[in-house]
Homo-oligomer: A and B are copies of this chain.
Amino acid sequence: MTLNIIGIGLNDEKDITVKGLEAVKNSDFIYLETYTSKLQCSFEKLEKLYGKKIILADRELVEKKAEEILDKAKDKQVSFLVIGDALSATTHTDLMLRAKEQKIKVNIIHNASIITAVGITGLEIYKFGKITSIPFENENIKAPYEVLKKNQNAELHTLFLLDLHPDNNNFLTIPDAVNYLIKQGMKEYQMCVGCARLGSNNPTIIYAKASELIKKDFGKAPYCLIVPSKLHFMEEDVLEQYKK
Contact = CB atoms under 8 A, between A and B. Distances in A.
Contacts of A112: 7, 17, 85, 110-113
A205 B113 CA distance: 22
Contacts of A120: 87, 96, 108
A127 B130 contact: yes
A40 interface: no
A86 B10 CA distance: 14
Interface in A15-34: 15-19, 21-22
Interface in A118-149: 119-120, 122, 124-133
A237 B100 CA distance: 12
B130 A126 contact: yes
Given A14-B19, A17-B9, A93 B238 contact: yes
Interface residues of A, number: 57
Nearest to A22: B14
Nearest to A84: B116
A61 interface: no
A102 interface: no
22 contacts: A9-B17, A9-B110, A9-B111, A14-B19, A14-B22, A85-B117, A87-B120, A88-B116, A88-B119, A88-B125, A90-B124, A93-B234, A93-B238, A94-B234, A97-B238, A108-B120, A110-B116, A111-B111, A111-B112, A116-B116, A126-B133, A128-B131
Given A9-B17, A96-B238, A128-B130, 17 more contacts: A14-B18, A14-B22, A17-B111, A18-B21, A85-B117, A87-B119, A94-B234, A96-B120, A97-B238, A112-B112, A113-B113, A113-B125, A116-B116, A125-B131, A129-B130, A130-B154, A130-B156
